[in-house]
Amino acid sequence: MITSPSGVNTFVVRGFKSKQALNNHWRDHGEEYPEFNSAQYEQRALELIESPVGENILGHIDKIGVLIRYDKSTNDFVKGRPIKGIFTMFKPEDGINYYETRKKEDIEHGGRE
């Protein structure tokens, strides 16, 4: 399966890799999403990570093939792999600067735009 750094990606694993992983991330980041329950949090993460890069959506792939998306309009940062599922989603304190720093480091170390 080829993962696109900027196009639409369809995840085989339709959310976090396990219920335990979802519960752990919901425990760590749920307070950042007061409008969501854990299922809605997982759905939002899936929708964002499968989205193509566009006006508000930034994205790239790191050197080991992890897909990253960042939504400027909501400050949501998500990482995952289509065959393994979502790894995390959160709202970085430093916003777009967090994303841009990660992207610069990832590209310098073999990632792709």
Task: Please give the Cα distance from 56 to 86 (Å, whole number).
Answer: 20
Helix or strand holding residue 47 (H, E): helix 38-50
pLDDT mean over 54-62: 97
Q: Which fold has domain 19-108?
A: Nuclear Transport Factor 2; Chain: A, (3.10.450)
Q: How far is CA 109 from the centre of its chain?
A: 19
Task: Please give the Cα distance from 41 to 46 (Å, whole number).
Answer: 9
Query: Residue 20: is its pLDDT beyond 80?
Result: yes
| CA-based nearest residue to 60, from 77, 85, 43, 83 | 77
pTM score of the predicted model: 0.96
pLDDT mean over 97-103: 98
Residue 49 · residue 67 · CB < 8 Å: yes
Query: Residue 1: is its pLDDT beyond 90?
Result: no
Query: Residue 2: is its pLDDT beyond 90?
Result: no
3 state SS of 85: strand
Domain boundaries, the chain: 19-108
